[in-house]
Structure 1
Amino acid sequence: MSPTPMARWAADLSRLQEMSGFIRFAMLKCVNVPGKYISMTTWADEPSFRAWTTSSQFKASHGGGKSEGQPEQASKRPGMMGMLDGPPSPEMFETVTITE
């Protein structure tokens, strides 16, 4: 049985925390659409986010995968695509206002 998205992302939080520019992570579960989640990260700047998407931590968090010039890595965990309806599509937002 595959882990739930929430359990999966919680286990990967430490990899995010290793990255320069990482600020926070939130997992949102839709209350009216079963199985729908939004994974939201906050970064100091876009280059920090882009560095995450090309890092070894990102590959490890997303089920391994093929590195440039390397054979396909075997993973004991299901790939992200097995948990998603389609490929992830990052959306970038700039802060207008925030209250904490």
Structure 2
Amino acid sequence: RLPLSLRSEDRLYVHASAERPEKWLYIRDMDAAERCLSASDARFIFCGHTHIPAIYYALPGSRPIHFSPLDNVAAPLSALRRHLIVVGAVGQPRDRNPAAC
């Protein structure tokens, strides 16, 4: 059985939200992103579970901002920001579309 989360230096890897990994919470909006970022001091949090990729970032003491990446354009990373990267997932999504993100 795999752990619900794994910390490696400034990175946290978690299947669902860092807020309460055992509850399999979805990150679908800014409020959920804020709770996830608040649950850990990791600079980068990587999660899946939603089947919909997304990127959020936040400066200390600020609400997260949803970042919309462009195709074939690198996403900028700042040493001042914390980042939440929702990598998406494969498997059995609720919308019945089994295609990978």
TM-score (norm 1): 0.27
TM, length-normalised to structure 2? 0.27
Q: Which has the higher contact order (CA 8 A, sep 6+)?
A: 2
Q: Which has the higher helix share?
A: 1
Larger Rg: 1
